Amino acid sequence: MSMVTYFLVAFVAIFIFSMIKILREYERAVVFTLGRFWKVKGPGLIIIIPGIQQILRLHLRTMVLDIPSQDVISKDNVSVKVNAVLYFRVVDPERAIIQVEDYYGATSQLAQTTLRSVLGRHDLDEMLAERDKLNEDIQKALDEQTAVWGIKVSNVEIKHIDLDESMIRAIAKQAEAERLRRAKVIHAEGELQASTKLADAAEILARQPQSLQLRYLETLSNITTDKSSTIVFPLPMELFSKLLK
């Protein structure tokens, strides 16, 4: 075999090898022919023409994006630091390549601004108590804006809401005041119920004097168990008049 034939065979083998690309199940290739979009191919074995066609690979798996801590001013003018985590994936490889230069970086920047915008419309109490609702609001806002990039935002989770020490002390005082208020309300309701029962008992005893006498005797029996040496127990004159009769 001559040297020219050897180089020709080697060139053909390298050319054929460069034509063959293998994509995994979660990969797609966006194919450009002479700089123009042609189609999205994959997974499996695909063939391209070297020098004429170029490919860009994308993953379709769900990606996790950590949103760094953001300074947020709530609706009631409280400054907090909030960080979150974002789950998204590429659903349209053509748009993810053509419509935006860096879909990962663009989604990250958009997530940060959307986080500040959505949380800024809520009070601090809502941030702390309604986290699930806020997660859903942020996810919907992001999903609407990233749809044109071929990105699907599946979930957003707020991880931490950090407060300064003065605000933590203020919230603790507020919680303590709320507990005291509830305790006073419960005590007042108990007093009201007790007074109602006492009024009912007094009305029953007024209608039946014999019940009042039995009540006095029961009280005397309870007092006899006491270790006190002197017992002063008032008796109404009506009780003596009934006994004399």
Indicate the Cα dihedral angle 110, 113, 114, 119, nearest 10°. Answer: 160
pLDDT of residue 98: 94
Q: Residue 215 — very low, low, confident or very high, per pLDDT cuts 50/70/90?
A: low
* More confident position, 236 or 200: 200
* pLDDT for residue 224 is more than 80: no
In the chain, what percentage of residues exceed pLDDT 70? Answer: 77
* More confident position, 135 or 178: 135
Whether the model clears a pTM of 0.75, i.e. scores above it, the answer is no
* More confident position, 136 or 17: 136
* pLDDT for residue 13 is more than 70: yes
pLDDT of residue 9: 80
All structural domains of the chain, each given as residue ranges with its CATH number in brackets, are: 14-59 (no CATH), 63-168 (3.30.479.30), 204-219+229-245 (no CATH)
Average pLDDT value for residue range 46-63: 92
Q: How many helices (H) and strands (E) does the chain have?
A: 8, 8
Which residue has tokens 């040496």? Answer: 229
pLDDT of residue 77: 85
- How far is residue 235's CA from residue 240's CA, in Å, rounded to a whole number? 8
pLDDT of residue 157: 94
Q: Residue 124 — very low, low, confident or very high, per pLDDT cuts 50/70/90?
A: confident
Identify the DSSP state of 50.
Answer: T
pLDDT of residue 166: 63
Q: Residue 89 — very low, low, confident or very high, per pLDDT cuts 50/70/90?
A: very high
CA-to-CA dists, residue 223 to 139, 227, 230, angstroms? 71, 9, 11
Average pLDDT value for residue range 123-127: 86
* pLDDT for residue 202 is more than 80: no
* pLDDT for residue 63 is more than 60: yes
pLDDT of residue 30: 95
- Find out whether 39 and 62 touch, Cβ atoms under 8 Å: no
pLDDT of residue 183: 79
CA-to-CA dists, residue 126 to 26, 95, 120, 130, 238, angstroms? 39, 36, 11, 5, 65
